[in-house]
């Protein structure tokens, strides 16, 4: 048989994720909660890895008289809802097929499927069964190699059949038994081990040639066989049985994401003591509820400054920040809105001047989340949109507030990045372009507004939600280090006519 190769397009909707979740009992918030996902390195809801694999399998040729015997799924990169992906299907024989999902040239998911003679089977009606309704939260310290879980499981058969029929999997030689086992794997990783902080990496399942009587939920035993604490990588051996008769065996690889990093007033005060050095000063910090913005706001308030903490959606984090600084020398005022919106900025300017009569510091920190992109046709609109949004988050506040800063010989602080001067990652054309554009507009604005001090800050890789992956954390430094050095510069220096650059940060953390 000559290898058959086909191309196609797929896209995942929120309804697809809800159906899969209902079928599998996998309620991991990374896939279902916009608010939760926004505070992860991915910034958007991630498609269940197994769902991506099932979508790919749905594009196989029909395989009458054959049924799935083994499947290997790999998830090199996350898939997101409402984005088009290209599909490549290669079928070297009726017994073997490979499906790959790409975002442009980037491989996102890969499925290898093997088939043997036999007929796929339907499942009888059974009561759905799963141990957990909420994902367990584990940390790396909770994991030991002897960890073992033994439970029973049954998917939601009605939802499973809707999903299977919609993708026409039965005709492809993939019965409801095999789909149920794949749904179990998603549930196990997303809800049990490692649970809420999971990143599914790889699954290998081999199905027994003979099937036991499929009238009951199946039992599973899963044992953690290896935990690599360098990368928080878990390897788990699994066995599925029905009435103690083997159904499938396999191995799961997954990562556990570290807990989200947060800056604290205590960590900032270990770097510099609090004081009233900035008492009477008023600052507006955009994107200040989390990450570097929150650390800058904390450092300013601890020096006596009144800080208007701008946030767009992270109200809970902003309120927490305000509460932690209740006894600080300065004051936090929360102000919600989109800093790239001209009407919001104009309204906010009037509020600030009416209430405080001045503005001394503008910290342009807000930035869209960074996801890998290539400079290629299918991604160019996303690249351009990112640059446009990033620039607006800096240029609009500057256009509105620089006049107020000039009246008090204030500071305009622009948060850029070392990528503007160093060799950038190949998949960051959008981020690098945005930072160059931001630095360019800051240089021109510094000439126009000579009464304002312009400080261009180029932080290195920071430990924030953006880098909070097992490998992304490597070499990242604490945002508190940047915040403290920035605020100390403002205390020690008066605004000058020339644009200043703050870089070459020393990692004082630890």
| Tokens encoding 350 | 């009037």
- Phi and psi torsions of 22, nearest 5°: -65, -40
Given 85, 220, 431, 449, the catalytic residue: 431
Tokens 């992906």 correspond to what residue? 85
In the residue annotation, 220 being an active-site residue is answered as no
Three-state SS for 151? strand
The neighbouring-strand residues paired with 477 are 462
Cα gap 49→52, rounded to integer Å? 5
Give strand ranges (E) for 301-442.
306-311, 331-336, 361-364, 411-415
Nearest CA to 286 out of 389, 406, 421 is that of 389
Cα gap 227→75, rounded to integer Å? 19
Cα gap 240→225, rounded to integer Å? 16
- Phi and psi torsions of 384, nearest 5°: -65, -40
Taking each helix axis from N to C end, the angle separating 14-24 and 176-187, rounded to the nearest 10 degrees, works out to 100
> HSE of 310 in the Cβ direction (CA atoms, 13 Å)?
23
- The per-residue DSSP string of 397-415 comes to HHHHHHHHHHHTT-EEEEE
Nearest CA to 262 out of 313, 303, 308, 317 is that of 317
- The per-residue DSSP string of 80-140 comes to BTT--EEEEEEEEETTEEEEEEEETTEEEEEEEEEEEES---PPPP---B-S-SS--B--G
What torsion, rounded to 10 degrees, do the Cα atoms 440, 445, 450, 451 define? -120
Largest distance between two CA atoms of the chain? 82
CA distances from 43 to 36, 185, 239, 381 (A): 9, 24, 34, 18
H or E element that contains 178:
helix 176-187
| Tokens encoding 170 | 């039965």
Cα gap 282→269, rounded to integer Å? 21
Taking each helix axis from N to C end, the angle separating 176-187 and 157-166, rounded to the nearest 10 degrees, works out to 110
CA distances from 194 to 233, 234, 248 (A): 10, 8, 21
- Phi and psi torsions of 213, nearest 5°: -65, 115
- Phi and psi torsions of 486, nearest 5°: -60, -50
Indicate which residues carry an active-site annotation.
431
């Amino acid at each position: 048989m000559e290898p058959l190769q086909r191309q196609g397009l797929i896209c995942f909707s929120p309804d697809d994720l809800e159906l899969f979740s209902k079928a599998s009992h996998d309620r991991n918030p990374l896939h279902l909660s916009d608010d939760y996902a926004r505070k992860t390195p991915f910034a958007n809801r991630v498609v269940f890895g197994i769902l991506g694999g099932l979508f790919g399998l749905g594009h196989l040729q029909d395989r009458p008289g054959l049924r799935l015997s083994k499947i290997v799924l790999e998830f090199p990169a996350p898939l997101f809802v409402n984005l088009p992906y290209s599909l490549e299907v290669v079928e070297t024989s009726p017994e073997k097929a490979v499906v790959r999902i790409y975002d442009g040239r980037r491989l996102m998911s890969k499925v290898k499927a093997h088939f043997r003679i036999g007929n796929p089977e339907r499942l009888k009606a059974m009561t759905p069964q799963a141990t957990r309704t909420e994902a367990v939260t584990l940390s790396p310290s909770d994991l030991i190699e002897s960890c073992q879980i033994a439970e029973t499981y049954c998917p939601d058969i009605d939802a499973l059949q809707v999903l299977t029929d919609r993708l026409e999997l039965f005709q492809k030689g993939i019965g409801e038994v095999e789909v149920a086992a794949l749904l179990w794997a998603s549930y196990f990783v997303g809800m049990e081990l490692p649970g809420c902080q999971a990143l599914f990496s790889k699954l290998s399942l081999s199905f027994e040639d003979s099937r036991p009587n499929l009238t009951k939920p199946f039992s599973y035993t899963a044992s953690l066989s290896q935990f690599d604490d360098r990368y928080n990588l878990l390897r788990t051996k699994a066995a599925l049985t029905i009435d103690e008769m083997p159904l499938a065996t396999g191995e799961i690889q997954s990562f556990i994401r570290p807990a989200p990093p947060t800056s604290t007033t205590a960590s900032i005060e270990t770097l510099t003591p609090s004081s009233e050095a900035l008492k009477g000063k008023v600052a507006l910090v955009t994107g200040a509820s989390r990450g570097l913005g929150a650390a800058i706001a904390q450092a300013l308030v601890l020096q006596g400054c009144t800080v208007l903490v701008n946030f767009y959606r992270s109200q809970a984090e902003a309120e927490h920040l305000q509460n932690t600084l209740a006894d600080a020398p300065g004051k936090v005022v929360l102000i919600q809105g989109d800093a790239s919106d001209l009407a919001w900025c104009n309204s906010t300017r009037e509020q600030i001047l009416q209430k405080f009569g001045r503005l001394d510091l503008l910290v342009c920190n807000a930035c869209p989340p960074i996801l890998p992109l290539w400079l290629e046709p299918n991604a160019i609109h996303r690249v351009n949109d990112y640059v446009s949004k990033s620039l607006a988050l800096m240029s609009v506040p500057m256009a509105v507030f620089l006049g107020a800063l000039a009246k008090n010989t204030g500071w305009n602080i622009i948060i850029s990045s070392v990528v503007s001067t160093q060799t950038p990652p190949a998949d960051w054309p959008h981020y690098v372009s945005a930072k160059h554009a931001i630095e360019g507009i800051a240089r021109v604005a510094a000439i126009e507004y000579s009464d304002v001090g312009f400080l261009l800050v180029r932080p290195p890789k920071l430990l924030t939600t953006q880098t909070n992956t097992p490998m992304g954390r490597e070499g990242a430094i604490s945002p508190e280090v940047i915040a403290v050095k920035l605020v100390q510069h403002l205390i020690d220096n008066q605004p000058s006519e020339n644009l200043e650059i703050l870089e070459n940060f020393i990692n004082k953390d630890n």
